[in-house]
A and B are shown apart, each in its own frame.
Chain A
Amino acid sequence: MRAALSLAAFALLAACTGESSSGEGVAVPGRAGALKSSASVRAARRLYDGAPPTIPHPPLGAACTQCHNSRGMHVEGLGFAPPSPHEETHGMSTFSRCNQCHVHALEGGEFVANSFAGLAQDLRRGERLYDGAPPVMPHGMLMRENCSACHDGPAAREEVRCSHPERARCEQCHIPSVDDSSFTRP
């Protein structure tokens, strides 16, 4: 395990220092970078808001979830591997096939240019009933079961970082808004 990790760390270091042919020119953020993990880095790795991010580092030869587990992993001197927002499953599941949705950007360039302009990142905050009320979730929950992946820890963007991650039952107070309509009696 340790050997595999250090091998992975070595490859990641190569990726960070630009020694590989890693794709989009977006460096893997180091610890300092991760604290300010910016909206632009987030956007650069997605075709549109809601698309699965591409993988900015080369294949490391270890299972993805070794670092991208439910809590993420800090690799000393390199940076923070963000946690997976997907429900943690044991054994095989939809989420054991990471590369089914997340692909490596192995090299730069395009086959043919493309003018697709994807849906921009929605930076709105969740609506609150009154100042001090818990905000509702401004997004759905499908494949975002692990709230702390994006709202807690070094990979959380400041704008959406939770002030009280110790209260683990998020959905007790924060509910998703699933519909625009109002209640009317039938």
Chain B
Amino acid sequence: MSALDRRSLFRVLGVGAGCVAFSEADRARAAALEAAPSTLGPGLGSSSTLKWDKAPCRFCGTGCGVEVATEAGKVVAVRGDEKSPVNKGLLCVKGYHLPAILYGADRLLYPQLRQSDGTLKRISWDEALELIASKYREALDTNGPESVAVYGSGQWTVFDGYAALKWVKGGLRSNHLDPNARLCMASAVTGFLTQFQSDEPMGCYEDLELADDVVLWGANMAEMHPVLFSRILESKRARPTVRIVDIATRRTPSSEYADLYVELRPGSDLALANGILHLLVKNGKLAQSFIDQNCVYKRGIEDLDAIGYGCYGEQAERYTFVDEPKDSNFEEFQRFLEDYTPQKVSEISGVSVAQLELLAALYGDSKRKTLSLWCMGVNQHTRGTWMNNLITNLHLVTGKIARPGNNPFSLTGQPSACGTVREVGTLSNRLPADMVVTNPEHRAKAEKIWKLPEGTIPSKPGHHAVDMFRAFQRGELACLWIQTTNPWVSLPNLHRYQRKPGDGKFLIVSEVYPTPTTDQADLILPSALWVEREGVFGNSERRTQQWNKLVDPPGEAREDAWQIVEVAKRMGMGHLFPWEGDWHEPMFEEYRSFTLGVGKDLASYAQLKTTRGLLWPVVDGKETRYRYAGGHDPYVAKGRDVHFYKAKGYGERAAIWLRPSHPPAEVPDAEYPLWLCTGRVLEHWHTGSLTRRVRQLHQAMPRSYVELNRADASALGVKSGDLVRLKTRRGAMEFEARIDGRGQPPRGSVFVPFFDESLLINELTLDAMDNISKEPDYKKCAVRVERVERGA
């Protein structure tokens, strides 16, 4: 293949020509490329000792393919994998700087036990594992399964998550297993489950090129999913008729590329989406025959007082609200929407009636394909499930769903939020492949596959993430094991969770670097990171990606799954992990048996090893790019264009939900007059424990700051670079002010990134939660900003 071919392929794969954006010819060329041994050529560092292998990137949920160069037992470079259908050779700045995350000087190398004077003492793995086993055993014997918990991660590999799930639910007989993904995409899970009775999107990244209109709902993709944003920009380059719409509460780098920027007030997205639905009904833009054949109507509890926010009164200790769905119908839906007139929605949201009509025209245009994308703005929301429902409603009522280019698509922030959390089911109420602990048949299936006696798995859901830490704080959990995550930076309202010395509880943290979370730990275990171990991740588009161990971990670091398996064996639960020798493949194949035949079918381990990942369901070795779509998904009944076959409880139809607009949990007032929104930045990934150890990334973004609107700043007499004090009802902290930087919050609001462990903005945030997903809202609370006199 000539250079020119490859160059144009890079572009063409991204966009395709004309309306048929991804032609069969392109696909054939992509397949040829996949089969080719190497395309970048030996030129770039082609010494004979250098070895290049595939792996997914360790950072976000995009799941870019990287090729990793190793030499003399060390990773020395990465390059974007041209064979990966995800990124086609491109990476972002984090991805390019990925190899250095392995080599920070303060890598944790040995198990360390905290002594009574607070210092850490190196112990052996044997001592550490025996200690964990005895602590868990003691807790089980004394207070039962209610007193033990594991807090996991969307950065766990499938192995780590599966081992934890099997050990906690099948061994400890507890459901107190929940992941950090509860803080980031739980609302998308409950969104998809309430509408399709099966989690995860129907579309795939190819939609980015096939859509005519790309609508971002509160997602700053240019910084958070840069490679996917590049695909959108390339699509627009090839087809100038493509339009990008950015619906946001803050002007971001993504807004710069938008054809239409819709700025709305925090929390008014529910009203906006209902306003669009109102206009679609009024203007006769409903795809009535599609709805009649494929949809049902549902509504749940809507009373604000009954629902609450999970942070006031009794709910501030335990938030256990359960929605009660009931049937609805088209007439009720119409009546419900009557309230959301353009004028009223405009008043609530600050969005002009003209823009509202534009949005309705866009969703209502049956000739143009529409892709809706969302991430934290919608998910970290006190009514995040509702907002997920409303965005998907826009696609259901217009029939713009489960067709190439026409889909609602939730983006994820962690590399295996989908693969490990959502598919393995490492949530307090879940089991693998869409199953739940509350369903006796599901428990029975798991017990059968796991060869456990009937009734082993408890039926009561365990603590969700925030309640797990509240319970730990109350002293109800004797043992808590945290792996691959940093909750003492990422939990909201962090002040609550500072441990008292000698609280008698046992906190284990498996990590790669010291963090504010290891500072809280009684026992610190050193973990293997990324290509220091074998793994499988699942990305946002249902792509399962496998990689091999390429280098040895430093010191005595071991993979998280091994740590769990070894503790289980020491607790007499070795029967859960019966495999001799290398257990990776047999463990995966056992997990895979949950997925076969139920529309969640994963590829075999052997097939995953030789491909750049496959989109499930994989049937007869073939991936499925569009779920529920006739001609794509083998589970769809013959002759059907669209078939929501997973929604057995709704008669194999998708649910259109009636969801009202509710105000946020805390709104600005005279004392705290501004909105505080928190989030991420391009250079750092989440709590920064990995990216801050890379000099280039640290130097580009050395510390956190607060973005102010110019008008608010001048009213306070603050210039860019001045120090300001942010005060909320939870605490106060000083930040450097930035005005008209990369993000520009509208008047009356401020934005703070959360990566900086020395400026813990989460000490100021509110622990209000979504009523259904229990995901906290990090985007909306009230704050006061004061100028700080230098040297004062």
Question: Which A residues contact B (CB, under 8 angstroms)?
Answer: 23-24, 47-52, 54, 87, 89, 91-94, 96-97, 99-120, 122, 126, 137-143, 145, 171, 175-181
Asked if B43 is at the interface of the complex by the 8 Å CB criterion, the answer is: yes
With A52-B93, A103-B683 known, 6 other A-B pairs at CB within 8 A are A23-B699, A97-B226, A106-B702, A113-B104, A142-B80, A178-B40
A100: chain B residues within 8 A (beta carbon): 92-93, 222, 226, 229-230, 682
Given the interface pairs A100-B230, A119-B69, A142-B40, the reply to whether A92 lies near B77 with Cβ below 8 Å is no
Asked if B115 is at the interface of the complex by the 8 Å CB criterion, the answer is: no
Given the interface pairs A118-B77, A119-B76, A179-B42, the reply to whether A52 lies near B96 with Cβ below 8 Å is yes
One of B163-171, B377-385, B488-496, B690-698 at the interface:
B690-698
Q: Which of B13-46 contact A (CB under 8 A)?
A: 14, 36-46
One of B233-241, B368-376, B616-624 at the interface:
B233-241
Shortest C-beta distance, A154 to chain B (Å), equals 24
Complex contact A117–B682 (CB within 8 A): no
Shortest C-beta distance, B116 to chain A (Å), equals 28
Q: In the complex, A178→B236 CA distance in Å?
A: 30
Least CB separation from B693: chain A residue: A112
Q: In the complex, A100→B681 CA distance in Å?
A: 11
Complex contact B45–A47 (CB within 8 A): no
A47: chain B residues within 8 A (beta carbon): 96-97, 99-100, 694, 696
The 6 A-B residue pairs with the shortest CB-CB distance in the complex, in nearest-first order: A103-B700, A139-B43, A119-B77, A116-B103, A113-B105, A138-B43
Q: In the complex, A142→B226 CA distance in Å?
A: 18
Most interface-central of B3, B93, B230 (chain A CB within 10 A): B3
Shortest C-beta distance, A169 to chain B (Å), equals 11
A142: chain B residues within 8 A (beta carbon): 6-7, 10, 40, 80, 82, 89
Shortest C-beta distance, A158 to chain B (Å), equals 20
Least CB separation from B757: chain A residue: A111
Most interface-central of A23, A100, A111, A145 (chain B CB within 10 A): A111
A107: chain B residues within 8 A (beta carbon): 699, 702
Question: Which B residues contact A (CB, under 8 angstroms)?
Answer: 1-4, 6-7, 10, 14, 36-47, 50, 69, 71, 74-77, 79-80, 82, 89-93, 96-97, 99-100, 102-106, 222, 226, 229-230, 233-234, 236-237, 240, 253, 257, 513, 682-683, 692-702
Complex contact B692–A99 (CB within 8 A): no
Complex contact B696–A48 (CB within 8 A): no
Complex contact B237–A180 (CB within 8 A): no
Q: In the complex, A42→B337 CA distance in Å?
A: 61
Q: In the complex, A106→B2 CA distance in Å?
A: 40
Q: Which of these, A103, A171, A180, contacts B4 with CB under 8 Å?
A: A171
Q: In the complex, A106→B14 CA distance in Å?
A: 33
Q: Is the interface of A mostly helix, strand, loop or mixed?
A: loop
Q: Which of these, B43, B234, B695, contacts A140 with CB under 8 Å?
A: B43
Complex contact B230–A94 (CB within 8 A): yes
A178: chain B residues within 8 A (beta carbon): 1, 38-42
Q: Is the interface of B mostly helix, strand, loop or mixed?
A: mixed
Complex contact A180–B7 (CB within 8 A): no
Complex contact B77–A49 (CB within 8 A): yes
Shortest C-beta distance, A86 to chain B (Å), equals 11
Shortest C-beta distance, A69 to chain B (Å), equals 17
- 8 CB contacts below 8 A, A to B, read A47-B694, A100-B229, A114-B693, A116-B99, A119-B50, A119-B76, A142-B10, A145-B7
Q: In the complex, A24→B253 CA distance in Å?
A: 26
Complex contact B696–A105 (CB within 8 A): yes
Complex contact B105–A177 (CB within 8 A): no
Most interface-central of A23, A24, A115 (chain B CB within 10 A): A115
A145: chain B residues within 8 A (beta carbon): 7
Complex contact A137–B3 (CB within 8 A): yes
Q: Which of these, A91, A102, A122, A171, contacts B43 with CB under 8 Å?
A: A122
Complex contact A51–B96 (CB within 8 A): yes
Complex contact A109–B234 (CB within 8 A): no
Q: In the complex, A107→B82 CA distance in Å?
A: 33
Complex contact A92–B257 (CB within 8 A): yes
Complex contact B696–A176 (CB within 8 A): no
Given the interface pairs A100-B222, A119-B77, A142-B7, the reply to whether A109 lies near B702 with Cβ below 8 Å is yes
